[in-house]
Amino acid sequence: MTYSEALNIFMLGFNFTEQDLKKSYRSLSKKYHPDNFLTEEEKRVAHEKMCEINKAHDILKKKKTNNYEYQEEEKINVNEYREELIRKILKFLLPSENDEYYIFLAGYNYKISNIITKFEKRITSDIFASVNKDIMDSEYRKATNAIKKQFTKLQERFYDENKIDATQVIEPLEYNCSLKEFYKQLLVIDKKYGLKAQINQRLTKEIEEYSAIPDYNILIAVLSYIKNSYYEKIVNNTNLLKAYKQDENSLEIARIILQMHKQIGEYIKQYRYLSNQIASLDNIIMNINDIEIEFKYLELKNQLIFAPNLEEVFKKLNELKNSIRHYELQSNFKRTRTI
């Protein structure tokens, strides 16, 4: 690693102070500490970045302490350094209009291109003919900060369109990369926190909630039908998802699915209530000597099991209870007359 590369990692000019070095080191260490990341891959990348930061820190600290004359020691040609900065800043642009993400990023790519053009004009103008590296570094930082603002605008718009809550996102974004690579980072965020992920989480929560209801397994086939017919076709359909993102009612179909789950949950509660009500009549029916009432009772039990139209079951249950009351009144009346 060269001295210039170490300066670029810390975003410092040649006239930096020890305080500048400490401040920049603390900031980078806090950002890339492996403990800030969750997955093993993220931790590995962060560890490699920290090794690079520590190496750069050692180079800068050593040379600052020994008070070397940096420009003379490295014999850096200003023109070569200017070309190097231009090459570095061009990496932020998309490679070509044929890039797969160009249609989404054309506007931002155009603005970044204008920033880079201004930067090139400034450091290649007659005013900068005898410029030193510190001034070019300063111009480079101004340009890259302006590019970062465009990245931030893209991030805010992307989060808004995909219903992503920025306060929930814990993964840090890398801004020192091309527009394409930055957009790829946003796509990864979308997979974890975006519209589809929200639907997945909500559906999972609904399923867990209603799975706790007694007799839920009675209608597990209905749930499978809902998932296969709606969830798979809608949520996993890329074209439809793209259409949702342009529509204010993007979660409407997800709401319909969740409402179906709720209706099923209510249905099961009613089913459980009816099942208990009918079971409570067992002993009463055993003591009744009436073929018509027994037939109604068996018909009601079969209807609950094989054709669960709950409104019809409620109606027939009330009819059966009325028949039982009528039978009991008649029986009491006959007993009274006999006495």
Together in a domain, 172 and 119: yes
What pLDDT is attached to residue 146? 94
Tens digits of per-residue pLDDT, 50-63?
Answer: 888 888 888 887 76
What pLDDT is attached to residue 214? 55
What pLDDT is attached to residue 185? 93
Could you give the residue ranges of the DSSP H alpha helices within 163-309? 179-193, 195-211, 220-226, 232-235, 238-245, 252-279, 282-286, 291-306
Tens digits of per-residue pLDDT, 197-225?
Answer: 887 777 777 667 666 655 555 555 555 55
Could you read off the pLDDT tens digit of each residue along the chain, which spans 339 residues? 677 677 778 877 766 788 888 888 888 888 888 888 778 888 888 888 888 888 888 888 776 665 544 444 444 567 778 888 888 898 888 877 777 788 888 899 999 999 999 988 888 775 554 456 777 888 888 999 999 999 999 999 999 988 898 888 888 899 989 899 999 999 999 988 988 788 777 777 766 766 665 555 555 555 555 555 555 555 555 454 454 444 444 455 556 666 666 777 777 788 888 888 888 888 888 888 888 888 888 888 887 766 557 788 888 888 888 888 888 888 776 666 665
Together in a domain, 32 and 135: no
Neighbouring CB atoms inside 10 A of 260's CB total 16
Of the residues 170, 191, 212, which one is the last residue of a structural domain?
191
Together in a domain, 299 and 214: yes
Together in a domain, 60 and 39: yes
Measured in Å, how far apart are the chain's first and last C-alpha atoms? 114
What pLDDT is attached to residue 226? 52
Together in a domain, 202 and 334: yes
Together in a domain, 89 and 48: no
CATH of the domain at 41: 1.10.287.110
Of the residues 191, 209, 235, which one is the last residue of a structural domain?
191
Of the residues 75, 94, 129, which one is the last residue of a structural domain?
75
| DSSP track, 102-141 | HHHHHHHHHHHHHHHHHHHHHHHSGGGTT--HHHHHHHHH
Together in a domain, 272 and 178: no
Which CA distances in Å does 29 have to 47, 56, 57, 256? 10, 12, 11, 47
CA–CA gap between residue 272 and residue 162 (Å, rounded): 40
The answer to whether 117 and 109 are in contact (CB under 8 A) is no
CA–CA gap between residue 194 and residue 245 (Å, rounded): 10
CA–CA gap between residue 229 and residue 97 (Å, rounded): 39
Together in a domain, 159 and 291: no
Together in a domain, 200 and 333: yes
| Number of domains the chain contains | 3
Whether the model pTM is above 0.85: no
- With residues binned 3-state (H G I as helix, E B as strand, rest as coil), the percentages for the chain, rounded to 5, are 80, 0, 20
Together in a domain, 185 and 124: yes
Share of the chain above pLDDT 90, in %: 11
Together in a domain, 32 and 98: no
Tens digits of per-residue pLDDT, 142-151?
Answer: 999 999 999 9
Question: What is the extent of the structural domain holding 95?
Answer: 77-191
The answer to whether 129 and 180 are in contact (CB under 8 A) is no
Together in a domain, 201 and 253: yes
